Amino acid sequence: MSDEPSIARRDQNNDNNGPVKHPPSPEHSTGPEHSTGPEHSHNFDDQQADQGNSIGQSPPVPNRGALSSQGVHQSPPSAIELKRLHRFFGDTKAVHDVSFSVSRGQIYGYIGPNGAGKTTSMKILATLDLPSYGDAFVDGFSVVNDPEFVRQRLGYMPDAFGTYRDVSCIEYLDFFARAHGLIGRERERRLQRVMDFTGTQGMKDKPIRGLSKGMKQRLCLGRSMIHDPAVMILDEPAAGLDPRARIQLRQMIRELADQGKTILISSHILTELAEICDSVGIIEQGKLLATGSVSEIQSQRQECRKLVVRVLSDPEEAANKIKRNLEIKEVLVDGQLLKFEFQGDIQQQAVLVRSLIEQGVELAEVRSHQKSLEDVFLSVTEGLVQ
Amino acid sequence: MNNEVIDSRTTQLTKLQRLDLWANQFSDRLNPILIKETRQSLKSRQFIFTFFSLLTAALGWTIVGSLSRMPQIYTTPSAPTLLLGYYAVLAVPMLLVVPLAAYRSLEVEIDDGTLELLSISSLSPWQVVLGKLASSLLQIFLYFIVLLPCMAYAYTLRGVNLTSILLITTTLLASGIFLTIVSVFFASLTHTRSGRTLTLLGTVIILLASVAGISLAMSSLILDGNLLSPNELFFSIASCLFIGPCAGHLMLTATTIRLTPESENRSTPLRRSVLALSTSIIFASALATLLLSARVTRTTILCQPDFLYGLMLAGGTLWTIAGSMFVSESPNLTPRVKRDLPSSIFHRSFSTWLTPGPATGFFFVCINAFLMVAWFGFGLNWLAATNLSVDEFAIVSKRLAWAFELSSTFAAYLVITLIFVGYLVRFIRKKQNPRIEIGIASLIATTIMMALIPYSIGLHLNEFRTYAYSNWQMSNWIWTLSWIYQGNDPGSVPFLVKLIAILILVISLIRNRKVTRPTRTATPQRVLDEKQKNRPNHAGELD
């Protein structure tokens, strides 16, 4: 029995964890003379020795300069950052090498089928679970090493309500305000602001058990923002809500982002996410398949654009001109409508239209069909469940 | 906001509003869990039902009990009868309802996911647990206050002295608090449905057994009066005052550890708590030696040998269970834990054994087992020699020599077993990353194998007939210890076992000398800055 050189990893109370390899770690222990000394960075070679084995120490990534020895950003560039995040439950890889970052004030949509690993990643970010390997940062603070600082900056709304019996709405919010250390007038101000924002002022004395699902969601949103966090994690906030409640919730989220809050949101309602998110990440079977802004992903996944052209002149002649110009093999003629697939961006589409007009084709209408987020989601994912 | 502004505002308020304002400001200093739990529990059906049942039962018993004693109630002492009824009325809510409500409260937090929400708030696990405990305490006091006039009435009926009533109420209050701690501890043990069924069953069994035991003692106290001598009474109270809080603290620590994130140092608080309980056992053994009679006479209820054996057994059990978990800890420390490791030579000299890790855990257990054996062997002997009469010392020293032999052999077996447990858990850790409770399972497996294998071989060699104890049963700790306990001579087995244990200890110390090396890592400046920023500074915030 011995105390081996230390490498951070999941510790004693770790249900259903798979085997975790832990090769020797680099010596970054310091003597008393170094105990309060300045931070010192891992060098990259040492990190490679650590590859994929630890919590609290980010796996090797080329750009390590921004991280200190303890996995704390010296100058946080992003509000949320996941670095090669892994979470295993036995043989199941719930989260497998997920990395992305969210800039301040952005709304990031986290999309994936059931069991894709969205909630697991979000729980790790909310410091409710620990990664098997890799690390996650909120405002530059590691969820593993400095969870208390992460919690100060984070508001988490889980997919379950998490409400108490025998308490009214105001008592519920008041309790969480106290739990976040708010006292005196500051607490009263925050309570007032949150109830105004979520529209729960009118039901403040009502018992929670009598509330509708939509109102409970509002209350839970209020609870998660009671301490005015800079980052909010919303796990399926719109699940089970009627269309009106969904629209109201969407407006509230947009408003929060306008206030400068960074929001990570997961939802199954992709059209809604496409409308409010600045960027999205698509996850399946624990792996991040695509990430970026909605338009970026759409264009990445758009192998060819479907164009529909309505001509007033002879359609056959126009079809031949299109074929000649663009070496398009097949143009479907449907009355005055010409339908074909065009490989090119929006600029090239403009060039095509101009060239057709110059060749004497009388164009009445040009329609291009771009893939929606739902189409992209369906093309990226395979519907696999772990 | 300065005082003048407060004054000008408060002067315009009515008395009731001012009281409300003051209460609101006062509540800022209270544990939020206590406020929430109190709001919840005072509105709950369970509390309302229990409270009114208690009132009705107390009133009913006052009338029925008094009428049943008529007309002798004016001439003969009738307090015991009435007090017995009041005790029964009070014991049910205090010893059963409140602990079970506390269990259920934590269970519901786990079920509804609110414990997760609390764990990401600013509340520490200690605040969560103490808040629940304080709320239970409040309920206990409410129930107690209801019964207080009835007890005063019973006292006026003569037959029970004030000391007995005080003893009964104190025991009820202390037992209620302790059983609540036990219930909360059990509620935190598991988060799975099947696990919770088992813990609930365990809690109910413990509560019922405790109620039965306490009720037996209390009814004897009510009906027969205090049968303890002043020394025995002092010993009972002092021992309970030391062991009870330490045991409660250990269970509260264990509960908070269940609610603490894995990246935190969860081992050191537990080790400190085990150490405190062990010290309280040593204190009680010293008291037993000094205060309790060495002979069992007709007038002696508590006797020194019985208590010493009981305390030895408690100490042995404590270190065996705690040791099996300490040696099962992960050898890998999180960076967060490494930031707080002892750094100076002085700090390392005294605190290394409290830092997490299986090797430090092993030595921590060994050192304490050694100290405990030394205390039972030499410390108590010295105490007896300097404080008891010659006759009493002659009896006590014989028993202490025997106790030393038993405890030292047990400690040697513990050292050897823990080495096996440590290796077994290390092997398991290659494939899995289990919880430290795996240590208890490994301990059970190891001790059974150590006893069963030599016994089975002996049975086989003797054609399944009974056979006498021999040196071949050296690893059979059950037979060896029971052999010593019965006063038989186990030959050279104890000596050999102790020799092996010392050898193992020395080899382990040499092999693990690197555990004393400094491994502390620097805390990033940004974290230090943030900590500085978060230092409590509430001045002027309560405006």
Q: Is the dihedral of CA B19, B25, B31, B36 positive or negative?
A: positive
Question: Chain A residues with CB inside 8 Å of B47's CB?
Answer: none
Which tokens in the block code for residue B374?
Answer: 């030394």
How many A/B residue pairs have CB atoms within 8 Å?
A: 244
**Angle A146-A289-A262 (CA atoms, 0-180°, nearest 5)?**
40
The verdict on B314 touching A (C-beta cutoff 8 Å) is no
Q: How much is the pLDDT for A47?
A: 36
B345 and chain A: CB distance < 8 Å anywhere?
Answer: yes
Average pLDDT on B477-503 reads 88
| Chain A touched by B258 (CB under 8 Å) | yes
Counting Cβ atoms within 10 Å, is residue B186 exposed (0-12), middle (13-18) or buried (19+)?
Answer: buried
The pair of structure tokens assigned to B272 is: 């400190």
The reported pLDDT for the residue numbered A14 is 40
Per-block average pLDDT, block size 10, for chain A (386 residues)?
Answer: 36 38 34 33 35 39 42 68 90 89 90 87 92 90 90 90 82 93 89 90 86 87 92 88 83 89 86 82 88 76 74 86 72 86 77 84 81 71 62
Higher pLDDT, B18 or A189: A189
Residue B516: what pLDDT? 57
Identify which has the larger pLDDT, B9 or A333. Answer: A333
Quote the tokens at residue A355.
């060239």
Please give, rounded to a whole number of angstroms, the shortest distance from the CA of A200 to a CA of chain B: 20
Looking at the predicted structure, is the pLDDT value of residue B354 above 60? Answer: yes
- Choose the closest CB to B334 out of A2, A56, A223: A56
Pick from B107, B185, B172: which is nearest to B140 by CA? Answer: B172
pLDDT at position B273 is 95
Using CB atoms, pick whichever of B114, B262, B526 lies closest to residue A164.
Answer: B114
- Which among A37-46, B70-79, B237-246, B427-436 has the top mean pLDDT? B237-246
Q: Chain A residue with minimal CA distance to B505? A: A1
- Given a cut of 80, is residue B298 above it in pLDDT? no
**Interchain CB distance below 8 Å, B524 and A128:** no
Q: For the residues B425-432, what does the mean pLDDT come to?
A: 85
Chain A positions in Cβ-Cβ contact with residue B518 (cut-off 8 Å): 29-32
Judged by CB atoms closer than 8 Å, whether chains meet at A9 and B332 is answered as yes
Residue A84 to residue A100: CA distance in whole angstroms: 9
Q: How far apart are CA A321 and CA B362, in angstroms?
A: 86
Contact between chains at B524 and A223 (C-beta distance less than 8 A): no
- Residue B10: pLDDT over 60: no
Instruction: Please answer yes or no on whether A167 and B357 come within 8 Å at the CB atom.
Output: no
Mutate to test the interface with B, among A2, A10, A157, A234 (most CBs of B within 10 A): A2
pLDDT above 80: residue B91: yes
Q: pLDDT tens across B164-223, in order?
A: 888 888 999 999 999 999 999 999 988 788 888 899 999 999 999 999 999 998 888 888
Confidence of residue B489 (pLDDT cuts 50, 70, 90): confident
Return the CA Rg of chain A.
Answer: 26
Inter-chain CB proximity B119 and A72 less than 8 Å: no
Q: What share of chain B is helix, strand, coil (3-state, %, to 5)?
A: 80, 0, 20
Q: Which site among B22, B27, B47, B120 would you substitute to test the A interface, given the most A Cβ atoms closer than 10 Å to its Cβ?
A: B120
Query: Chain A: residue nearest B42 by CA?
Result: A166
Give the mean pLDDT of B433-454: 89
Residue with tokens 């701690």: B181
**What pLDDT shows up at residue A249?**
85
Where is pLDDT greater, at A165 or B278? Answer: B278
